[in-house]
Structure 1
Amino acid sequence: MAKWGEGDPRWIVEQRADATNVNNWHWTERDASGWSNDKLKELFLAVRVTGEEGSCEVTEVNKLDGEASINNRKGKLIFFYEWDVKLNWTGETSAGVKYKGHVEIPNLSDENDPSEVEIRVSLAKDEPDTRLIELMRRDGVQRLREAIAQYISTLRTEFTQGMILPAANGVSHTAATDVQKKAHTKETQNTKSSTCPNTGVKIPTCKFSMKEMFMTSPEELYRVLTCQELVQGFTHAPAIVAAEKGGKFQLLGGNVSGEFVELESEKRIVMSWRFKTWPAGHHATITLTLSENGGETELQMEARGVPQSEEQHTKDGWKRYYFDGIKQTFGYGAMLL
């Protein structure tokens, strides 16, 4: 038997109870079916889209058949998942007319990239034709693809903990997985790794900024962003907002949550902010800067530490639920920059 630090690492027996399979070098398998079932339901039921045609949302997962697993063979993680999905959606036109429909995803599997997964959208039987079907086939399908991408990303980060065990000195003998290597090569110059505190997993993150003009004063816009009653008004949902340093907030049924880090009345708001679907414990830093500009207020939003796979979803969420929501509710509409 080789001494520690010498010879082929596959055969080194460490001082540990499970040394018969050091670092899980030999074949190990973990069933991810139950976890995947819950995660996919959570992600699909969060899908909601709004447009000129009206609004639509996924209301029920009425079929989710399949399985998922993760295998480790000689330090390489192999992912397998295959699902047959059927969803129900409801929509409402701007005139208040309601419709029902279905979504079919017959082959959600590891063989296809999220952009290649077949997604069929249809109206329920006997429902008359409506432009809402266009909204679902355009924006709804895009949100569903984002949900699928989030499921795959989370499966490869959160659920893989312990599949490759650390060596005696805390460092695994295994090289990065193919998935990690591919992700690394795709990182842009403004992308860096962030460690998720609850899991110890490093995920690729990014930063971005957005600007929006509001036909109101910085004082009034600051109030809208920090007053619980006004936040409930533009999000059209119950909210918890404790606008003080260290104060917590929770919006949109818990889908958005975080903590106020810094508050400068009428000028600046800094938040530790997250979507519910992000890896557990991971927060981005959101900085809102308000400035008067020709009788209007310019709001500049800067986001740092957003999971790279969530960049577009986060931008869309801020545009829809914050910027557009405030303008439509309080009449602060203005020309976009």
Structure 2
Amino acid sequence: MAKWGEGDPRWIVEERPDATNVNNWHWTEKNAGPWSKDRLKELLLNLKISKNGVDCKITEVDKLEGDASANNRKGKLIFFYEWDIKLKWEGALSGGNEKVKGEVQIPNLSEENEVSEVDIIVTIKGSGEEAQRVKAFMHNFGRDEIRNQLKEYIRSLKEEFSKGLILPKKGETPVKPDNVSTITSGFNKKINMEPVVASKKNQQIGCKLETKTIELSEKLQCRAQEFYDAMTRIEMVTAFTQGHVKMEAEKGGKFVLFGGNITGEFRELVPAKKIVQYWRYKQWPDQHFSEVTFTIEEKNDHTLVRLKQELVPAAEVEQTRENWRRYYFESMKRTFGFGAFL
């Protein structure tokens, strides 16, 4: 078997004049956080919203918390962004005597939601008739203008910021963003990724639960740290599970995968070496958890991952073993290029 960087055309540096990420095969990531903050401030600060005798303006970006990244895998761009934004604004009626001040809160700007679904909450300081009219204007018209700016942020993130992530192969011209297939984390996809489950007639009810242990080993074409990241970084877990993920990768941190079918808790985390989880299927008896240990060992030409899962209900052993192969290891190979060399 070839050693790191030998044999597989994805690793042959001569295929790329700059010798990086041959054929765009491997998962690469670009931090879009600082750029996004500048872009959002540029789009929102001093935004003027005027119509029908009402003039309003965003005067301050009071809060801008979150992060964003652009990722490349097999020539596809995968974007992650999540922002909690608070704006200050002021406005007045033409010929009015009162200057109205207020706030706009945008707590959930992320790829999980369409811009039309993003909450935009308008509040004011004061309760007079003019203040209420201006607030109604911001609620009915101002929110649409703000949504247009958020759409422009997302467009520029995907088209402007992502330039250079898709590298041309040898002899090719640079790839234009509009020629690149773009996908998100999968939060809005109507995909059924539920694990295969055993028939309920095989489950034991009302008696002592018989359990067994599963042991698997898998050879992956990646570094040990890359496999560890694929199991603990929310954007990578989202990519290979193709669904909404909740995860706190720390000791005692909880995780929820595959639409709530898999839940658990991290018990031990040793980067590039070991991961221990409490782990359960939704259909298992209430409060019954197995314990899963991933032992990660990097070799000269591959990384060996050993999985040991204790306390698996006996009736679920074969299905659980198949689910590990299908929904974890095989999916990682397809998504990140961790499979056998071509």
TM (norm. structure 1) is 0.47
Higher relative CO (Cα under 8 Å, sequence separation at least 6) belongs to: 2
TM-score by length of 2: 0.47
